[in-house]
Amino acid sequence: MRHAALLLLAAPVIWAQPRTSAISGEVLDPASRPVEGAAVTAVSVERGTVHATLTGAGGSYRIAELAPGSYDIRVDKAGFSASIRPAVRLTLDIEVRLVHSLTLAETRNEVTIAAEPVSAASTPSSVTGLIGRERIQELPLIGRDYLQLSILQPGVHVARAYATNNNGGFGQALSISGSRPVQNTFRLDGVHLTNQTGSTPGSLLGVNLGVEAIQEFSLTSSAYSAAAGRGAGGMVHAATRSGTNDPHGSAYYFHRNSAFDARNFFDASKTAAFRRHQFGGALGGPVRANRTFFFANAEAINEFTAGASINTTISDAAREGRLTAGTVPVDPAIRRWLALLPRPNREVFGDTGLYYFANPVQSGETFVTSRLDHQWSSRDMSFLRYTFDRAQREDLTNFALARRSSKTLMHSAAAEHTHIFSPALYGTARFGWLRSEMDMGQTEAVDRSLDDPSLAFVTPGTGPGIVYVNQLSTFEGATGGTDKDLSQFDSYQTYNDYTWMRSRHLLRFGGSLELTNFAIDSTIHPLGEFTFDTLASLLTNRALRFRAMMPETNAARRFRQEVAAWYIQDSIRLSRRLQIDLGLRHEWATVPREANGRSANLDRLSDPAMRTAGPLFKNPSLLNFVPRAGLAWDLRGDGRSVFRAGFGAYPDLILSHFLLLAGVRNPPYFLDAELRNPAQGAFPGKAYESLLTEAIPDYRVERLDPEPGQSMVRQWNASWQQTLSTKWMSQAIYSGSRGRNLSTIVEDANLVQPVVQPDGRLFFPAGGTKLNPAFGFIRNRLFNGMSSYHSLQTLLRRQWRQGSLLQAAYTFGKSIDDDSSTFARTDSSNSIGIPVDGYPGFNRGLSNHDVRHHLAVHGLWALPTPRGGARLWLGDWRIGALIAAGSGLPFSATLGYDAARTGTSRPDYRGGQRPDVNPAFTGPVATGDPARWFRPEAFLRPEPGYLGNLGRNTIPGPAWFSADAMLSGDFALPRAEGWRLTLRLEVFNLSNHANFDLPGGRRSQVFTRTAIPEDAGRITSAVPARKWQGGLRLSF
């Protein structure tokens, strides 16, 4: 193993962001002159491993690649007393700097110093925060997901509108200093955890388990060094625990039950049923003292919930054709289909009403991680980690008509070797592997009457497919009717890092190589899909559109891609108080290649045929030479008053998350055909017959710009950190960024061509012809968008020696962009398409993840405990709290019809058309009432042929507030030395505040073609109400 690791070290591929820490410092004589040739040793308190070096000509030293933990630091030099710094704490990516002032040997043989060291991020110009093991272990965590603590850092908030699914990822979507969630990068032990979605990692249950296995994690929100890449936003980096010389372990059980919970705002008369059992254990210790150590953790979740689901269905009167606008005849086939749709059991508005049902969701997850560390010698050390996670979930589709099952599976591994060539030169080689598997969207009818072949849209078909009606919730079809994805993503990663210290320079150079293999089999509306723009058109069987996959469709793809980088960075210590960083990174990706040649693209929107040869697009990344720079100025030299500033450019590469649609769903391999305005009575089966006999069906196209510009985000920051005393620390940060050539999406670019009016408005003439008659719907992914972010971020922390702490982080920021989507309009509930092609700034407005104000306050306090024998029985008690509050996310009022006569295939909220502002309206548009969050009277229908003048994301959504708390008691077990029992009680959303979601989607439509929707602006969901969790933990 040692020889293999050394071979990796000598390979031409080189490093990424470190997963370790470092100690550096100066050794001075009594006259404050540098001492050369002093021996410096760092001995791990937990593992007993020894690391040594010598001071250089300037009296400086640096010991790097140290695992997080506590170290005893000793300095020896003939003629001087030894200087000892006991138990210096090292944390992930944070470098500790010490100053040793030696005394003459005649004075004392040893001098032990307990002064606080100065700590700084490994890149002084970056904005980095650390979440240590104590906070991970102690703070209340719903689901025990350590990444939930990311919001403790200023500049970070949850992008609550973003969807969690197989396209957008299942982890908690984070916006870090204004970034899109897909622009962040996540690492575990230096290895990327980001799969094909490009977003926050997480299991199907939306959590990252392993609290017992995480030592700590750092979050860099701005201007990280040239050593890191593969992201244009923030970086989250976690390190796993290792074994120590002292055996240690734990067994734990956590339980939640709805019997103790409060009722959700949208629950029926009683709280929705919920039960969760979460249990596991961890064990670590030595295999060989001071040499080899192991650690392992296993955890499982079994969960059942029956949360409220609210759908909009058709009223009893409307089923008989008695609409509020007048009576219409009901087609016999439609009548038979309506029998499958449940009747309202809540409020009835007129033509529609609400249908409530308790959606029984059965979930489970199994998580295992293990790690082995070995110290070969004082110059060589290695570690190996493997992680496994499997999750499954079953729930019901809309209207409780079918059971839906999904599964995810994740494997992750890391192997690393570090070799010290000399006190001034050392290197690290690392190999990583990630496999992510998903099996999504398998459905089976609850009642077999749903599988009615006489209502089938396609042949063969088990029953009806998907039905969209502007005023109703989506009907998701019979068995097998929903979209299905089966995918496997593999990432093979190699890294090397070399660090060379000479005089005032600390030179880092390295690079990385990642090979990805992404296989997917993706089908859409396999039983067909009808769209009706009004209830009247539904009842009379006059469809707006029918779509179905043609029989010769091939949906299986396998893409291969490489991501490579090299970098060099020099940290120059100009003086004891001033350091500057200068770096350059070259990072590029190859164009994805489909293994069987089944990729196609549309070079120009007007082209009559797809291009099936050559690369999918022209590579924009080959010249990605990007600078990184920064400085750190310690005004007084004691680490108490520090000014930092940094700048960097960060490419946003075109990776697999851009291929989820554009790499799969294109003709001539994927044939998704569309029939517009089929003849009356085409429902259920005649429309498909017409598609099969059409000479040239309207095929759907997922276009990816064939000549994209390189997406790039420039980040900058300036911060002031003031340590007021040994207990208080404050920080103020200005953080900003600007993006160019970012991805934008025109939901349907195959439109009638507009005429530019003298006043600059676009006019779409009636009866105009579409740009490309050879195709139907063309979703156009371009790289012509911009983003802008500015913020003031503040942090105040108070610490006590007993381990108690209090911290508040506040951010005032504003994020603007042309678009916030990467996959499709379904990225988030407030996402809308750009309604016209060629005008990238048309949708410029607040970002989908814009939160103007965000506050996160947390604390841990040790309660007073009695001394003596009473303490054995009463234990040690701690309380913890986490309070988060934020402004509401913005969203748009949209139209449910093609008011501008663009000819779009998305004549609803997805297309992005918006109303006009009503100049006569005064007062707030948002009402604060979830029954109708916005006032329809604030808007007007646009003049026919024109796009509305209302901007994007102009309506503020519901604000957010949550207070979580924890009480734990720790008891030493009698006659069992070192064994402790911890009792834990946690409460989430203690105040039971109703945190509403956005109206989103269809309920954001203020006008349909004929009316104001009866449920326009209605909110039908909220995050959970107050929840209680109890736990037991036995540790030794």
Q: For residue 111, what pLDDT is reported?
A: 59
pTM: 0.90
- pLDDT tens-digit series, residues 402-455: 999 999 999 999 999 999 898 889 899 999 999 999 999 999 999 999 999 999
Contacts for 449 with CB less than 8 Å, ≥ 6 apart:
340
Q: For residue 870, what pLDDT is reported?
A: 65
Cα separation of 859 and 882, whole Å?
7
The β-bridge relationship of strands 94-101 and 235-240 is unpaired
Between CA 630 and CA 181, with CA 176 as vertex, the angle to 5 degrees is 130
Helix (H) or strand (E) holding 551: none
Which spans in 739-878 are helix H?
A: 869-874
Between CA 33 and CA 36, with CA 35 as vertex, the angle to 5 degrees is 135
- pLDDT tens-digit series, residues 131-184: 888 899 999 998 899 999 999 999 999 999 998 888 889 999 999 999 999 999
Q: Which two tokens stand for residue 921?
A: 């309206």
What is the distance in angstroms between the CA of the first residue and the CA of the last residue of the chain? 32
CB atoms within 10 A of CB 931: 11
Cα separation of 816 and 811, whole Å?
16
Between CA 849 and CA 853, with CA 850 as vertex, the angle to 5 degrees is 130
Residues 266/1020, Cβ–Cβ less than 8 Å: yes
Q: Which two tokens stand for residue 334?
A: 């439609």
Average confidence (pLDDT) over 914-925: 96
Sign of the CA dihedral running 731, 990, 803, 293: negative
Is the pLDDT assigned to residue 4 strictly greater than 50?
no
Cα separation of 936 and 1006, whole Å?
6
**CA dihedral defined by 687, 465, 834, 935, rounded to 10 degrees?**
110
Q: Report the SS3 class of residue 491.
A: strand
**DSSP of 494-518, one letter per residue?**
EEEEEEEEETTEEEEEEEEEEEEEE
Cα separation of 651 and 228, whole Å?
11
Cα separation of 398 and 380, whole Å?
58
- Give me the residue spans of the domains in the chain: 19-121
Which spans in 29-148 are helix H?
A: 133-138
- pLDDT tens-digit series, residues 870-894: 666 777 899 999 999 999 999 999 9
Question: Higher-confidence residue: 895 or 61?
Answer: 895
Cα separation of 484 and 477, whole Å?
13
Is the pLDDT assigned to residue 7 strictly greater than 60?
no
Average confidence (pLDDT) over 893-911: 94
Domain spanning 19-121, CATH class: mainly beta
Residues 315/322, Cβ–Cβ less than 8 Å: no
The average confidence (pLDDT) of the chain is: 91
Is the pLDDT assigned to residue 14 strictly greater than 80?
no
The β-bridge relationship of strands 402-422 and 380-396 is antiparallel
Query: What value does the CA radius of gyration of the chain take, rounded to a whole number of Å?
Result: 30
- pLDDT tens-digit series, residues 65-103: 888 888 999 998 887 888 888 888 887 767 888 888 888
Chain-centre distance of CA 432, in angstroms?
Answer: 21
Burial class (CB in 10 A: 0-12, 13-18, 19+), 758: exposed
Helix (H) or strand (E) holding 855: strand 853-862
β-partners of residue 506 are 501, 571
Question: Higher-confidence residue: 987 or 426?
Answer: 987
- Structure letter (DSSP) for residue 171: S
- Structure letter (DSSP) for residue 354: E
Q: For residue 77, what pLDDT is reported?
A: 84
Contacts for 1024 with CB less than 8 Å, ≥ 6 apart:
261, 264, 988, 989
- Candidate from 488-502, 860-874, 1018-1032 with smallest mean pLDDT: 860-874
Q: How many residues are listed for the chain in this entry?
A: 1036
Q: Report the SS3 class of residue 134.
A: helix
In one-letter notation, the amino acid at residue 473 is S
Q: Name the one residue in this structure whose structure tokens are 């009457």.
A: 449
In one-letter notation, the amino acid at residue 389 is D
**DSSP of 658-711, one letter per residue?**
GHHHHTTS-TTTS-EEEEESPPTT-TTTHHHHHHHH-SS-EE-EEEE-SSPPPP
